[in-house]
Structure 1
């Protein structure tokens, strides 16, 4: 099994979403036989999708300058990691009701027409199929199933767009509400992880 772990917190240390992603991957690889690739988007930030990147992507490969080819190669590397994975584990904290800029940059990198999705007469079709995705979602407040949870629709929409439809979520909320709330959130998240992994193994 090939596992790709994406840590999207802005913090390299002390991140709850990373802690949960680590725990999920450790249990997935309990027998030590999996190949695990970890991408820490704080320690290894990916460049944002700007005008320079767009120009490089829309220039035919044989016409790209060395600088443009190098920029596209950065995205190619992330796409290759996603394509090679059997399971993708994403640590996704909520920042200001949405995903982090780090995760958005990863999303922008792996969304490539003709590679990870394609347009058809009946609409777009995702090409990153046959993979399981587990997303560890962490929040300072309580947002699940409420009107302030604008993060979850974004995650579901993007992942489905590129073909990642077998997605399960682990929630850990209330980390800004005091020590008791944190303890409850962590205990609840641990139970969710066990349930999700039982389903993955089924």
Structure 2
């Protein structure tokens, strides 16, 4: 089994999404100590924005191959300004490749990479859940779900910590709740 761990927070050691994505990876390693892990830190080593030349570049091919080889993908995804960080969007742009991760049949898109386990450690400073007045401007989880669904991954699992900017008590409670959700993950890793 192969696991791809992606982090995208610019906050380094102070990042809640990095803490959560790391906890998810540790949980998976506890289930399968032999799992092969590849790690990509998009804040430390950002990918260039995609242009036509980069789609056919060796770097673009390596990013795509790394994704395609993974059975499990763990993504640390904070919300910045109501959306995912631009470096995470650039990574998605490198893996959203026609005839590799999706194609069109009879005018309809069809995802080509279903069957992968995707766990997204998602953090946000405010409250953007479906019952929140801010729900209409949440564009991280919804966008990630749309991108993954387009390529055939229709059941990603989100571990959410929100309200992190509402003071230390709320932050600690949200992170504690998210970490409890990590320990409750039941992932079937059999090939």
Give TM-score, length-normalised by structure 1: 0.86
Q: Deviations over 1:98-145 (max 9, x none)?
A: 010011000000111011111110401111121010001101111122
Uncovered stretches (5+) of structure 1, i.e. residues with no partner: 58-68
Question: Is 2:79 the partner of 1:94?
Answer: yes
Asked if the contact 1:131–1:166 (Cα under 8 Å) also holds between the matched residues in 2, the reply is no
Check conservation: 1:12, 1:40, Cα contact below 8 A.
no
1:75 aligns with 2:60: yes
Partner of 1:187: 176
Question: 1:147 Cα shift?
Answer: 2.3
Q: CA deviation at 1:182?
A: 0.9
1:94 CA drift (Å) = 0.2
Q: What is the aligned partner in structure 2 of residue 20 from structure 1? A: 20
Deviation at 1:173, TM superposition (A): 0.7
**Superposition pairs of residues 110-121 of structure 1, within 5 angstroms:** 110-121=95-106
Q: Which residue of 1 aligns with 2:146?
A: 157
Q: Where has structure 1 moved over 6 Å in runs of 4 or more?
A: none
In the TM superposition, residue 148 of structure 1 has moved relative to its aligned partner by 2.8
Name the CA shift for 1:127/1:187 in 2 (closer, same or farther; >3 Å). same
Moved more, 142-151 or 84-93: 142-151
1:88, CA displacement in angstroms?
0.4
Change (3 A) 1:55 1:73: closer
Q: Which runs of 5 or more residues in structure 2 are unaligned?
A: none
User: For the residues of structure 1 that align with 2:179 and 2:25, how far apart are their CA atoms?
Assistant: 13
| Rounded Cα–Cα distance in structure 2 between residues aligned with 1:115 and 1:192 | 33
Aligned length: 184
Match of 2:52 in 1: 54
- After TM superposition, the structure 1 stretch with the greater mean CA deviation from structure 2, 6-15 or 22-31, is 6-15
Counterpart mapping for 1:30-45 below 5 A: 30=30, 31-45=32-46
Separation in structure 2 between the aligned mates of residue 139 and residue 174 of structure 1, nearest angstrom: 6
Contact 2:84 2:139 (C-alpha < 8 Å) held by counterparts? no
Structure-1 separation of matches of 2:65 and 2:54: 18
Corresponding residue of 1:65: none
